[in-house]
Amino acid sequence: MKEIVYHTNYQLEENYWWFLARRQIISDVIKKTVQIDKNEYILDVGCGTCGMAEYLSKDFNVVAIDTSELALEYCKKRGIQHSFLSTLENFPKNQYNIKAITILDVIEHIEDDNAILDQLYQALPIDGYLVASVPAYQFLWSFHDEVHKHYRRYNLINFKKLIQNAGFQIQFATYFNTFLFPVALAKRFIDILLNIEKRNEYAIEILPKPINTLFTKIFEFERYFFPKVSFPFGLSILIIAKKL
């Protein structure tokens, strides 16, 4: 990602609607679907500025890795003790009792997504869990994807196939950020028609506080449906899978 994204994410992770609701949803789904003991760890791959790792550490042992020195500087500011500058392939996994790996909005940044899924499979023990999220729908490709240096977006069918081909058994799969999908779709087409999206170098729309609060509540409300319900569309995809 561009450096400006790390600076911006660090500032927004504590108050921007997308970050607030997303971390709550993913944390809730992990609590409901992942069986993890007190002596076991979650490995957060591509942790960025550690907003998610910090939130998960309230309930779990978390170790975080990223390939960006800038990202890891922000992790240290958040007080994440177990954060390392490393690829998954080079990380000394035997030093931690890893039971689950989170890779959240990371796979789309990697050119060879099959290779990273193979590495994730090898990194987990038998009965270990994979928690993965990606942005949905290639037709929603925008300047945001360019700034974040994405290679692709996914649909649920091809993302499930990618994970299954690596050897995982899917436990739960859904689109999410569904309730705000019509708003985002309308915004996308307006940006295209008016050619305004590239005027914002951050590629994030800063909202007035009342709207930000409203969006947070709308998005966060989806957590009450998971994992009992899978949504048929949405702006993102979330999959929980297991290595058997």
Give the domain ranges of the chain: 3-242
> Chain centroid to CA 91: how far?
20
Amino acid at 163: I
Distance between CA atoms of 35 and 128, rounded to whole angstroms?
A: 9
Q: Tell me: the pLDDT tens digits for 182-237?
A: 999 998 888 777 776 555 555 577 899 999 999 999 999 999 999 999 999 999 99
Query: What is the CB-side half-sphere exposure of residue 50 using CA atoms within 13 A?
Result: 28
Say which residue, 6 or 211, is predicted with more confidence.
Answer: 211
Q: Which helix (H) or strand (E) holds 70?
A: helix 69-77
Find the mean pLDDT for residues 40-46. Answer: 98
Written out in words, the top-level CATH class of the domain with range 3-242 is alpha beta
pTM: 0.94
Task: Return mean pLDDT, the chain.
Answer: 93
pLDDT digits (tens, 9 = 90+) for 66-91: 999 999 999 999 999 999 999 999 99
Looking at residues 156-167, what average pLDDT do you find?
98
Bond preceding residue 208 cis, omega within 30 of 0:
no
How far from 230 is each of 13, 186, 233, CA to CA, in Å? 26, 23, 9
Copy the structure tokens of residue 73.
């500087």
